Chain A
Amino acid sequence: MIDSHAPGKVTLTPFSVLEVRDLTIGLPSGGDRREAVSKVSFSVNRGEIVCLVGESGSGKSVIAQGIMGLLPRTLPVTGGQTLLEGEDTTRASQKRLRALRATRMSMVFQEPMTALNPVMTCGEQLDEVLVEHTDLPPPERRRKILDIVREVLLPDPERIVASYPHQLSGGQRQRIMIAMALVLEPALLVADEPTTALDVTTQAQILNLIQALQARHGTGVLFITHDFGVVAEIARRVAVLRLGELVELGDKEEVLKHPRHDYTKMLIGSVPTLHPHGRRVEAGAPVVLETKDLSKVYIDRGWFAKRREVPAAKGVSLTIRRGQTLGIVGESGSGKSTVARCIVRLIDPTGGEIRVHGEDIAVKSPRALRPLRRRVQIVFQDPYRSLNPRRKVGDAIVEGPLNYGVSRAEALDRARRLMELVRMDAAALDRYPHQFSGGQRQRICIARALAMEPELLIADEAVSALDVSVQAQVLALLEEIRTRLDLAMLFITHDLRVAAQVCDHVAVMSRGEVVEYGSAEEVFLDPKHEYTRSLFAAAPGRGFAFGTA
């Protein structure tokens, strides 16, 4: 398919927009491997969406940067080509790259807030692209801007164009980014995790938008993601990366249904199903936690500003019994974490009751609360910030028991047993957190919480920051611990798949209120509330049966 008539320029098949050939990108010495990307080859055709999937550290974003000519100097291209309509962008000059960007290739980033300039209106930023790359007179540019804003389905284009990024929602900002990327009708759009920072319903809209625009303009899209649900939703072809190597490349149906490589099988097998697990729960088990009309209002009070009240949780009533898992599901800002933090009393609730074994802890003073703290423990989302970087793992785990008068020897003994329980080496106790990966740190955090011998374990998005395969391991571990120790668990997540896998009961929260509450089967199989239904409808890849490969 290489046509060598034109010297220095390689002509490709008429359909191919991007052809990546044997791309190799080096890593600085001292890294965990020699190359960030090793001999990766794939192509993106006109009007086609190719998904590049991989876990963190697989080199997927590095490939995108390589194509766009955005690689930092520490990551040099050491071999191969990235041919954009026959022109190798890895060897193009900065000047040529500037001319190509936005006109022939564009990129959409993960975080629309940081990708937009906060001190320029969206219209000005769109205009900048046109001024840089076209000779259009101002009225023409204005017309083009309004057209593209209308095309990305933003309401009231005049107002949006005059708005600053902070005045828009996350989804609207991402639409502006997409408008900016597509305004000059590039042949290739590189989207690097464009929906990862968004809520599930917004994500569904953005995915629809990208698909619609791409089909209309015949753009080739390289879509980078870690989420197989998104892949199932949007891809035509899929490329799977592992540690910088392409392990599998093929049509979506082929890869998702009949993966050939073990790694792909493992990844797809790790994606939880949307179907509730259907475990039998004991109805008469003692109640560990009960909240009644729990509410939290944040009061914003300045010296000169008007007093502003922001209700984060309103009238939340939940019950968790021993040996059972209650899931709180909701999008960002729904108040699910507020409820968790009130129950641990990291923040003080404004009203209502929190009964742990019948004892109300909602209004207890810090001193009176102390003996009760050990009954409720929490595991946080971010494994990198959940452990004090200056303390050894062992010291972190014994800290709690020591606070309650357990002797150091006994606490250390307990820590060793817990390390075994969370499947880690006891030698880890003498090391510092930075020597562990995210999944290992999360295990350490679980061990630290269990060292208190709690009756209720709260997992606040505890697996959300983990890669899908690690997530599966940690979920399995939590499940095992819950059964073995007969714990009550409160599981807070935005991920419906995770909720389906672990929860016995589910409470769906929206704008601080519980809109639906029932057993996992009821909620998942027969959602009553409109919001719950829209949430399920938005779950990416719901048509695909994952977890069965």
Chain B
Amino acid sequence: MDAPGRKQYEALSVEAAVVVRQESAWQRVRRNWSVRIGGIVLCVLVILALVAPWLGTVDPTLFDAGSRDLLPGRTGEITTLDGEVVRHTFWMGSDSLGRDIYSRVIYGTRVSLVVGILCALLALAIGIACGLASGYLRWLDGILMRFMDGLMAIPAILIAIALVAMWRGSLATVIVAIAIPEIPRVTRLVRSLVLTIREEPYVEAAISLGTPTWKILFGHILPNCIAPLVVQGTFICAFAILVEAILSFLGVGLPPDIPTWGNVMAEGRQQFNDYPHNIFFPGVFLAVTVLAVNILGDGLRDTLDPKMAKKMGSE
């Protein structure tokens, strides 16, 4: 084949005529409606949590004997820590101790989001480490995975209750207690991804290029696990928010003076028949938050998971 002949061929080749146009994953993510809706709701919640002191709230631990069991929208008095008595409108009513439910719910957003995000990060970090080790070091695989199987055999909520009971109920212990039962799931996911990706030709090419194992793990394998891990992270986050509320509700989570949605609901439980707002408002916040995180996760899975993307494309 002579040179001008080849040039002519290349011009005729179909490959030259096909313009490769492919959206990046990020573009697809931004166009997805689930991601948009979930993301916007979560952003609003984060902002609420950050600017809680400026939203007409009072210190959520304050109470006033004269303002007990107020209905939503009523105005009453509340005593500050300095002993000063101020007028205050109880937008979501007050509880049986005379605390402002509105303030407690808004401040409770902080706890829920912190617990959700930190649990997800903690479970992902440890799970990734265990998963990479298990997927790449054959001798460790058996031991580690049997341990994880054992951990998975115990209901998550029981482990969390046992761990919090063992330690003292604080934010850190609650986060750790909720994150631990999630670790096996992340480990399994990462391990299966590693086992698939390590067979990919680009990893074999890296091996033959003399790339050290740790560089292959963190430079080639881990970056290709990110998408499913982000998705998994959102589901852990939603679950952690729920479990934290359950623990608080059962009285085995954070101490009752800390404003969390679960604590507010636990306190309102006795009076549910007379004052349902005690449970209604934190319940709505809890449901909306978990729903938003799950919708976001679904959207991310649809856009980031290549298998899902292909399915959507061919429909």
The residues of A with any CB-CB pair to B shorter than 8 Å are: 30, 32, 55-58, 72-74, 242-243, 262-263, 266, 269-270, 344-346, 370, 373-374, 376-378, 380-382, 385-391, 396, 399-400, 403-404, 434-440, 445, 448-449, 452, 467, 469-470, 472-473, 476
Given A58-B14, A266-B9, A476-B6, are A386 and B205 also a contact pair (CB < 8 Å)?
A: yes
B83 at the interface (CB under 8 A from A): no
A385-B202, A467-B14 known; A346+B208 contact, CB < 8 A: yes
Question: B201 near A404 (CB under 8 angstroms)?
Answer: no
B99 shortest CB reach to chain A, Å: 50
For A382, give the chain B residue with the smallest CB separation: B201
Supposing A373-B209, A400-B209, A435-B22 touch, asked if A470 and B201 sit within 8 A by C-beta, the answer is: no
* Pair A32/B206 contact, Cβ less than 8 Å: no
Q: How far is the CA of A326 from the CA of B14 in the complex (A)?
A: 31
Instruction: Give A377 to B210 CA distance when docked, in angstroms.
Output: 10
Say which residue of A400, A436, A470 sits within 8 Å of B210 (CB atoms). A400
Nearest CB of chain A from residue B303's CB, rounded to whole Å: 15
Q: Name which residue of chain A comes closest to B6, CB basis.
A: A476
- A387 in contact with B202 (CB, 8 Å): yes
A372 closest partner in B (C-beta)? B210
Are the C-beta atoms of B12 and A266 separated by less than 8 Å? yes
Q: Are B15 and A470 in contact (CB under 8 A)?
A: yes
* B10, B210, B219 pick with most chain A CB within 10 angstroms: B210
Q: Which residues of chain B come closer than 8 Å to A376, judged between CB atoms?
A: 208
Mark out the residues of chain B between 1 and 29 whose CB falls within 8 Å of any chain A CB in the assembled complex.
Answer: 1, 6, 8-10, 12-15, 17-22
Given A32-B19, A386-B201; A399-B13 close (CB under 8 Å): no
* A470 contact set on B, CB distance < 8 A: 13, 15
How many angstroms between the C-alpha atoms of A396 and B206 in the bound complex?
9
Distance between Cα atoms of A114 and B304 in the complex (Å):
26
Contacts A74-B314, A346-B204, A385-B202; is A473 near B6 (CB within 8 Å)?
Answer: yes
Min CB distance, A245 to chain B, in Å? 11
Task: Check: B207 CB closer than 8 A to any chain A CB.
Answer: yes
Q: Decide if B155 is an interface residue (CB 8 Å cutoff).
A: no
Assess whether B84 is interfacial by the CB under 8 Å rule.
no
CB-CB < 8 A to B215: which residues of A?
403
Residues on the B chain within 8 Å of A32, using CB: 18-21
Whether B224 sits at the interface, judged by CB under 8 Å, is yes
B220 CB–A CB distance under 8 Å: yes
Given contacts A390-B224, A470-B15, contact A437 B206 (CB under 8 A): no
B13 touches A473 (CB 8 A): yes
CA of A30 to CA of B20 in the docked complex: distance in angstroms?
Answer: 11
Question: Given A380-B201, A388-B223, A469-B12, 12 other A-B contacts at CB below 8 A?
Answer: A32-B21, A72-B315, A74-B315, A346-B204, A386-B201, A389-B224, A396-B202, A400-B209, A403-B209, A434-B22, A438-B15, A469-B9
Q: How far is the CA of A344 from the CA of B210 in the complex (A)?
A: 11
* Nearest B residue to A366, CB-CB: B213
The number of residue pairs between A and B whose CB atoms lie closer than 8 Å in the complex comes to 117
Contact between A388 and B224, CB atoms less than 8 A apart: yes
Nearest A residue to B227 via CB reads A390
Tell me, in angstroms, the Cα distance from A466 to B309 when the chains sit together: 24
Q: How far is the CA of A171 from the CA of B9 in the complex (A)?
A: 35
Contact between chains at A378 and B208 (CB < 8 Å): yes
Asked if A476 meets B1 with Cβ closer than 8 Å, knowing A386-B202, A403-B209, the reply is yes
Alpha-carbon distance between A263 and B12 when the two chains are bound, in angstroms: 6
Tell me the nearest residue of chain B to A344, going by C-beta.
Answer: B208
Chain B hits for A346, CB < 8 A: 204, 207-208
Contact among A58, A403, A434 for B211, CB-based, below 8 A = A403
Please tell me if B149 contacts chain A, counting CB pairs below 8 Å. no
B305: A residues at CB distance < 8 A: none
B223 with A399: CB separation less than 8 A: no
Query: In whole angstroms, what is the CA distance A404 to B212 when docked?
Result: 11
B18 touches A57 (CB 8 A): yes
Query: Is B257 close to A, CB under 8 A?
Result: no
30 sample A-B contacts, Cβ–Cβ < 8 Å, listed by A number: A30-B21, A32-B20, A32-B21, A55-B14, A56-B14, A72-B314, A74-B313, A74-B314, A74-B315, A243-B14, A270-B9, A346-B207, A346-B208, A380-B204, A380-B205, A382-B201, A385-B201, A387-B202, A388-B202, A389-B224, A391-B219, A399-B206, A399-B211, A435-B20, A437-B15, A437-B20, A438-B15, A448-B209, A470-B15, A473-B13
Asked whether, in the complex, the Cβ of A243 is within 8 Å of the Cβ of B17, the reply is yes
CA gap between A242 and B13 in the complex, in Å: 9
Contacts of B201 in A (CB 8 A): 380-382, 385-386
**Alpha-carbon distance between A380 and B209 when the two chains are bound, in angstroms:** 13
- Checking A74, A396, A473 against B9 with a beta-carbon cut-off of 8 angstroms, the contacting residue is A473
**Please, how many angstroms separate the alpha-carbon atoms of A271 and B143 in the complex?**
54
Chain B residues with CB under 8 Å of A452's CB are 209-210
Contact of B205 among A266, A403, A445 (CB under 8 A): A445
**Is B314 touching A469 in the complex (CB atoms < 8 A)?**
no
Give the complex CA separation of A239 and B98 in angstroms.
Answer: 85
Once A32-B21, A390-B223, A390-B224 are accepted as A-B contacts, the answer to whether A262 and B210 lie under 8 Å apart by CB is no
> Taking A74-B315, A346-B204, A403-B210 as contacts, is the C-beta distance between A437 and B18 under 8 angstroms?
yes
User: What is the chain A residue whose CB lies nearest that of B212?
Assistant: A403
Nearest-Cβ distance from residue A456 to partner chain B, whole angstroms: 11
How far is A339 from B22 in the complex, measured between Cα atoms in Å? 37
* A389 shortest CB reach to chain B, Å: 7
Residues of the A chain whose Cβ atoms lie less than 8 Å from the Cβ of B208:
344-346, 373, 376-378
Q: Are A262 and B12 in contact (CB under 8 A)?
A: yes
Q: For residue A435, which residues in chain B have a CB less than 8 angstroms away from its CB?
A: 20, 22
By beta carbon, the residue of chain A nearest B204 is A346
A381 partner residues in chain B, CB cutoff 8 A: 201
- Contacting pair A469 B209 (CB below 8 A): no
B210 adjacent to A404 (CB under 8 Å): yes
CB neighbours of B6 from chain A (8 A): 473, 476
Shortest CB distance A388–B (Å): 5
User: Chain A residues with Cβ under 8 A from B21's Cβ?
Assistant: 30, 32
CA distance A387 to B224 in the complex (A): 12
- Measured in the bound complex, the distance between the Cα atoms of B16 and A32 in whole Å is 12
Residues of the A chain whose Cβ atoms lie less than 8 Å from the Cβ of B219: 391
Residues of B within 8 A of A391 (CB): 219-220, 223
B199 to chain A, nearest CB (A): 9
Choose one: A262, A390, A399, A437; the contact of B209 (CB below 8 Å): A399
B18/A473 in contact, CB under 8 A: no
Q: Which residues of A contact B1 (CB under 8 A)?
A: 472, 476
